[in-house]
Chain A
Amino acid sequence: MRLLSAVRGELVEPQRTPALSSFDKLRTNGPIALIAALFVVAGCTGPGAPASTSGANQSGANPVDAVEITRPVALEFWHRQVGASEALQQQLIDEFMAANSNIRINPQSLGNYDTLYQKTMAAIQAGSPPDMVAAYETYASDYYEAGALIPFDDYVRSPKYGLLPQEVADYIPSYMEATHFSQYGGKQLTFPYTKSDLVLFTNMDLLRPLGFQKPAATWDEFLTHCRAAVRSGRQCYAAAIDPSAFDGVVFSYGGEVISPDGKKALFDQPPGIKTLQLYETLGKEKLAYQIQGIDDQNDLVAGRALYMMRSSTSVPFLASGFSDNSKWEVSIIPQGGSPKPVTVLYGANISIMKSTPEKQLAAWLFIKWLTRPDVTARWGLDTSNGYFPVRQSALGQATAATFLDSNPRFKQALEVSRSGKVEPSARGWNEVRNYIADAMTGLITGKMTADQAQQMLMQKSAQALAS
């Protein structure tokens, strides 16, 4: 109960977190879509009204405040961390449990997000979901549709257990934005946890001999650099088929990939068309080549590629691959006319599944503790995972300054995240991402023109978003 006492001591007037539009990173594949479809056919229950946290009761009191953890509770936490990152997470969990003897957390690594999603969906259908789960926003949306997930809003606002206004404001705004779901009245269905961003990685040892001293800041410069590299017999852009990177390019041209109501893809708008034409040029002039898995990292380190675009979680790997920092750079992706620099925010969150009021409260207390400035600074500033802290004040921690000083490329990636923008989470967008991947592959391999890709994308997106 020590933690509960501490919580009580720090509470003041609750503050509603802003209801913002939600976007996210979606990662799925055929089997995942199949599982989701089967799940729907099998009869999911629709968005739930979680019993204990559906909002203030008739007297206006926050229902969360009435809950007390008087007996030991055990929480199942399903996640995807492995190796050193899992060990660090376990260390944090152990510390939390040491300070909260009534709360036991049993973490379970599922290794990757696809399996995590599959198992969670199956467990929901079987009536035995975990108490907490790491989830992308689209996953959380599916869990909520199944009536298995509870919103955070009452917990955040709770005078007894919630967050102070200044604490809410301390979370990185764009991370918090992604956790609120406009399609569900702005409810907060997830909490930021494993965050990163899309950045441009440059092998400076290849760039400088070409006569350029800085990574490309615009797509025109990017093409110029690539053409120079190819003329000198080098490969330029090691391209991972990542729909998020495609979205990032559209954003950089000042566009959106989907209409505000989530009903129509916007690949036929000028930013979308420019993006398709860019990929067409990269493919036609052999300025880009398709890679498998995370081979682009190896190619960049080995000097086989001038550029790659990928999540900032690659920074620790590249830092260990390059012998010194002068050999590589991290920067925001090239821009194409956006009013202000923009890139894509990556990363998953944690959600609380519907269980008992005591378990739900225990889960919230853990998540709140996990995102405390000093804790998120340890979790988010560690070479084992390359994630960012989720609180701004985390960067004021003494350990943060030391870490960032000794990891300048990580610091650059972190600065880029200020320009981060979240991706759509509309129903059907998962499927659209598969078509974006098809278009990227077709364009980079030269098997598709920009016009063909646009037609395919618009046609299939319309079907996917209408379903």
Chain B
Amino acid sequence: MGGNLPLHLVLSVGGVLMLFPFYWMIVTSFKGLDEASGLPPTLWPASWQWDNYIRAWQAAPFGRYFVNTLIVAGGQTLAVLVTSTLAAYTFARVGFRGKNVVFIIFLGTLMIPLEVLLVPDFIILKYLGWYDTYLALIVPFSASVFAIFLLRQFFLSIPNELWDAAQIDGCGRLGFLWRVAVPLAKPALVTVGLLTFHAGWNSLLWPLIVTGSTDMRVLQVGLTAFQSDARVQYHLWMAAATFTIAPMLVIFLFAQRYFIEGVARAGIRG
């Protein structure tokens, strides 16, 4: 223990630094506007404004936004898990001509910024008649090159002997994928699922572009209700941010073991 003290100290400092923004968000969500935007900042509310949460909730139709976000993030996650698993498995374990070239082209698409895709994607969706529908929010994000890359790295680490043994037992490629590779890749799949769900949960620009009615808007749009030309209602904004990210925090706490294992075993480093 004594030898690990410096390490623990460093980790503790890192932990505090990571947690402080969350602490700040929650504490600010209980302050009044003057205190929330005043200087010097206070680490503890002078008077607790419990109704901030009610006021923040009433500032936008957050109930509807929660449902929409759940559908969108959930739909994207499910779709990405299916498409990425199949694609990654193909790139990792199926041999075909030009595989590496195709994979590099896939990776190359990671460098295309969202802004470049906005106009053509919007035009396609309009012509498909998907404007202001869940399809417009989910389908364009139903495949992820990063997820394919991460899962491919994981599938590559599966020993060939397992494939040989499965073949002897009469297992085909899909059978091996479903019965052997996917169970082994659970940490990587959880990682992909978590990252995809997180991205869907936090999306703002695309939902604003492809939806036109309040009924189809998502949570992050609700957070814009507290910022105007020259005024930010920090206290209500932080209250809304708290109940907006709460589900993500809960999910991460439950899935963190798999998440860390998935990132570590896929050879991804921050």
Interface residue ranges, A against B (CB under 8 Å): 31, 34-35, 38-39, 42, 76, 81-86, 106, 108-112, 115, 118-119, 121-123, 125-128, 194, 196, 293-294, 297-299, 301-304, 310-311, 313-314, 316-317, 320-321, 384-386
Contact = CB atoms under 8 A, between A and B. Distances in A.
Nearest to A41: B119
B119 A298 contact: no
Q: Is the interface of B mostly helix, strand, loop or mixed?
A: helix
Contacts of B133: none
Given A35-B118, A39-B119, A111-B224, A302 B230 contact: no
B10 to A, nearest CB: 29
Interface stretch (B45-53, B88-96, B123-131, B169-177): B123-131
Nearest to B127: A126
A128 B228 CA distance: 27
Interface stretch (B31-39, B62-70, B99-107, B135-143): B31-39
20 contacts: A31-B115, A82-B226, A111-B227, A115-B209, A122-B118, A123-B126, A126-B122, A126-B127, A127-B126, A297-B230, A299-B39, A303-B39, A313-B228, A313-B230, A314-B230, A317-B230, A320-B34, A321-B37, A384-B228, A386-B229
Contacts of B228: 81-85, 313, 384-385
A105 to B, nearest CB: 13
A42 B229 contact: no
A403 B193 CA distance: 54
Given A38-B116, A82-B228, A83-B59, 15 more contacts: A31-B113, A31-B115, A42-B120, A81-B228, A83-B228, A85-B228, A106-B213, A118-B209, A122-B209, A128-B131, A298-B37, A299-B39, A301-B38, A320-B34, A385-B228
B16 interface: no
B68 to A, nearest CB: 16
B242 interface: no
Interface string B228-246: 1111110000000000000
A122 B39 contact: no
Contacts of A112: 224
Contact of B115 (A34, A82, A85, A86): A34
Given A125-B123, A126-B123, A302-B39, A119 B209 contact: yes
A299 B205 CA distance: 30
B210 to A, nearest CB: 9
A321 B123 contact: no
Contacts of A31: 113, 115
A311 B230 contact: yes
B225 A82 contact: yes
A302 B119 contact: no
A320 to B, nearest CB: 7
Interface centre among A109, A299, A310 (most CB of B within 10 A): A109
Contact of B229 (A108, A119, A126, A311): A311
Contact of B225 (A83, A297, A385): A83
B14 to A, nearest CB: 25
Interface string B209-223: 100110000000100
B25 interface: no
Contact of A125 (B119, B212, B227): B119
B189 to A, nearest CB: 33
Contacts of B120: 42
B208 interface: yes
Contacts of B232: 293-294
A106 B212 CA distance: 9
Contacts of A84: 228
Contacts of B119: 35, 38-39, 42, 121-122, 125
A106 B213 CA distance: 9
Nearest to A111: B224
Contacts of B208: 110-111, 115, 119
A35 B116 CA distance: 7
Contacts of A317: 230-231
Contacts of A76: 212
A304 B230 contact: no
A206 to B, nearest CB: 13
B122 A310 contact: no
A232 B120 CA distance: 57
A319 to B, nearest CB: 11
Nearest to A109: B224
A118 B230 contact: no
A386 B123 contact: no
Contacts of A82: 224-228
Given A111-B224, A317-B231, A122 B123 contact: yes
Nearest to A78: B212
